[in-house]
Amino acid sequence: MSCARRQKKDAKSGEPPYQREKRLKHWNEKRLGLEGDEDVKFLFEGGNLVKIRSGSWQKERFFRLQEDCETLSHDSKKILKKSETYSIEDIESVRMGRQSEGLAKYTDASDEDRCFSIIFNDRKKNLDLMAASPEEAKQWVSSLEKVINNMRNLNDQQKSEHWIISCMKKADKNGDNMMSLKEVKHFLRQINVEVSDAYAEEIFKKCDESKSGTLEGSEIKLFYDTLTQRPEIDTIYGTYAKTDGQMSAADLLSFLQNEQRELVTMDYAMNLIKKYEVDPAAKEDLRLSKDGFLMYLYQEGHILNPAHKPLYQDMTQPLNHYYISSSHNTYLMEDQLKGPSSTEAYIKALLKSCRCVEVDCWDGGNGEPVVYHGHTLTSKVLFKDVIQAVKNYAFKTSNYPVILSLENHCSLEQQKRMAHYMTTILGDSLLSKPLGTSVPKIFPSPEELKGKILIKGKRLNKLDVAFNAKLATEDEDVSEEDEAAEITKENGEKPKSTKKSKIKLARELSDITIYCKSVHFSSFEHSKQNQAFYEMASFKESKALNLAETSGNGFIRHNMDKLSRIYPAGSRTDSSNYNPVTMWNVGCQIVALNFQTPCKSMYLNQGRFLPNGFCGYFLKPDFLRDPSSQFDPYKLTNGPWLKKKIFHVMVISAQQLPKLNKKEKSIVDPLVRVEICGVPADNARQETPYIDNNGFNPMWNQKFQFKVNVPDLALLQFVVEDHDTATQNDFIGQYCLPLTSVQNGYRHVPLLTRRGDLISSAKLFVHLMLMDCEQ
């Protein structure tokens, strides 16, 4: 760790504050790899921007990047507050132009090039800003993006160091670059560890080599090293470091082959030493020191198989052979009774690689169709604004096709307006006719549909009409088969009438519905005999669950030919979610969830689509695509799906868990739950005991064992919670991924927030081994 900003001579020399700030700036620029960068210099100097909250509240504020390179601030007019601050780590993105609802509503179109928005993680409000000129706005955006990206690209060890240094800075109340015993105690609480006063004094005295009563310079380095010591790493290293106390290339190869179960060569081991060894002498002798070994574990010891992180699957299979990341009631930011509707919800879903979004369309004023949850108090958003947001963000994260699932309740005229907006705004990205020159027999692939937006909705006729104009029909009535038109009550009562609701469908809207034509589902046999591959049904969760449990293989075979969309029951007024794994197990592709609701179901959804380049598509296992398959998740029989495994998990330790409560004395009591989610026979969970008052470096060394029958459908999830004897445990972080993408051996597990954002410094350290089960 570099301690340039804490040199003893600086404290003793009476250094002027501006000199200390200059030195701090330089140190942080260097840490981020931006030393002397003109963009960072621009941010340090700062400038005036207009902060926009409403049509009447638009006020000029002076913004600048603080010396720590991690805080953006502006002057405040509040009596008790000198400045407003925003953490760079909390920023999700910076958007150029009037691309937030606030800027679109409260600024003029002529100011497009002067506007930009800072979007934050979780639910913090956007920061909408206007610069004096287009050039200045671009400078702010590009400069902020550079700092954000460089911070995100720090390696795990640098992030850990960065976090600890930030906490040290907060503990240094008087800013003298020294730490008193009182400040050390405050710092320990900052990093989420509770120790006795006697232990705090013991550490302090050990590090205060000058006996000055404060820690400075090299003493702070010693204090840092003492705190970040990893005894579990020492043990592992000591086991394999058999060459004069260090790891030779042969020792490292033995570790990689025996512990990590990696099929690697001696050349690979030697290259790791060259890459990660920090001591030049050890590197010259092709030895790996303990520091180099730790650097290797931070960088190469990730739980996710690196071969599965980028796009690695065959993307040329028919569309229905893939799971598709899908959202329900995408327009909602909160619950479906009175929550706000927003284009921001579409943007957030699309940026998380959601590839199927829902648009509930209703007649609005002035002939403009609107989107909201009908017959409720949710707010409305213009349909054309939703389509513009889709146009702008559909392919920012993934180039693979996006499906717009339309729930159409509009009059004929407003349907025509909808079709007009989709064709004019989406342009060439809208798929308005089938691919090829003849009537298709199967779905095109995601690869063939790259950059295309597909419409799911009602269609007046078969796809044949696209190749024979004589078969065209004009506007006519179609049944309103969607979740808003359910005729069976949630409590199972029989409907008073069997007459289906009808709406008149505009030909213009019908004609742009190509591969996702909504139809009523009667039975699997009826669908097979009477419906084309592109005619798809939507299933309420309860109906889909019943079909999965009673006709699992039938559902699987249905999904080998067609698409199925599953949606949450209308009784979920709080926008909660069902378990998506049950639906994936029977091959359902469009398993729509409320993305706005953080919960276990969403953690599983993020885990399912984490590999394969996070592209929103994941190829189903062979046995869910093979027409001869007899697989049924509820009735396991012998077959290629049955690959019995024993999964050994050892939860060793955690590092730098976040504080949940900002109160000074709030320290977490962490526990870890390990869970397998897959076919019913594989579902299991186990958890560690909790550790008292230690979120900084708790250690469990707890071993678990799981039997897994169908690993191709299993997801592994780690959940870290703060134990509470009186109330429900508090969530700290989680991580989920397919079991098939897990690496064996000693691995670090990153932790994510409720909404799926990375907690930059926090991680688990585990040992994993997936082994064939003895028959």
Binding residue numbers for substrate: 51-78, 456, 458, 538, 565
Say how far apart CA 624 and CA 584 lie, in whole Å. Answer: 10
Residue 574 gets the label, from left (phi > 0), alpha (psi -120 to 50) or beta, of: alpha
Residues 6+ apart with CB under 8 A from 165: 1
What is 244-276 written as a DSSP string? TTBEEHHHHHHHHHHTS-----HHHHHHHHHHH
- Known catalytic residues are 328, 373
Q: Which residue has the tokens 């509707």?
A: 341
CA 762 to chain centre: 15
What is 212-252 written as a DSSP string? SSSB-THHHHHHHHHHT--HHHHHHHHHH--BTTBEEHHHH
Alpha helices in 585-732 (DSSP H): 600-608
Measured on CA atoms in the order 630, 633, 636, 638, is the torsion positive or negative?
Answer: positive
Which one-letter amino acid corresponds to residue 106?
Answer: Y
Would you tell me how many other CB atoms lie within 10 Å of the CB of residue 531? 18
Q: In terms of C-beta density within 10 A (0-12 exposed, 13-18 middle, 19 or more buried), how is residue 108 classed?
A: exposed
Residue 757: both structure tokens together: 């954002």
What is 144-195 written as a DSSP string? HHHHHHHHHTS-HHHHHHHHHHHHHHHH-TT-SS-B-HHHHHHHHHHTTB--
Residues 6+ apart with CB under 8 A from 298: 155, 156, 157, 160, 748
| End-to-end C-alpha distance for the chain, whole angstroms | 51
Integer angstrom CA distances of residue 360 from 246, 363, 459, 578: 64, 10, 17, 20
353-378 b/e (C-beta count within 10 Å ≥ 16 → b): bbbbbbbbbbebeeebbbbbbeeeeb
Q: In terms of C-beta density within 10 A (0-12 exposed, 13-18 middle, 19 or more buried), how is residue 22 classed?
A: middle
Say how far apart CA 441 and CA 453 lie, in whole Å. Answer: 20
The SS3 assignment for 3 reads: coil
Residue 160: both structure tokens together: 């850990």
Residue 711: both structure tokens together: 């690993």
SS in 3 state form for 26-67?
Answer: HHHHHHCCCCCCHHHHHHHHCEEEEEECCCCCEEEEEEEECC
Q: Which residue has the tokens 């509009």?
A: 410
Q: 603: closest CA among 700, 695, 720?
A: 720
Q: 566: closest CA among 405, 336, 730, 368?
A: 405
- Label the pairing between strands 684-687 and 516-518: unpaired
Q: Which residue has the tokens 């902060």?
A: 51
Say how far apart CA 229 and CA 698 lie, in whole Å. Answer: 12
Q: Which residue has the tokens 């250094």?
A: 15
CA 636 to chain centre: 33
Q: Which residues carry a binding-site annotation for Ca(2+)?
A: 329, 358, 360, 407, 667, 669, 693, 722, 724
Say how far apart CA 1 and CA 37 lie, in whole Å. Answer: 22
Alpha helices in 563-640 (DSSP H): 580-584, 600-608
Q: Which residue has the tokens 């998506």?
A: 580
Q: Which residues carry a binding-site annotation?
A: 51-78, 329, 358, 360, 407, 456, 458, 538, 565, 667, 669, 693, 722, 724
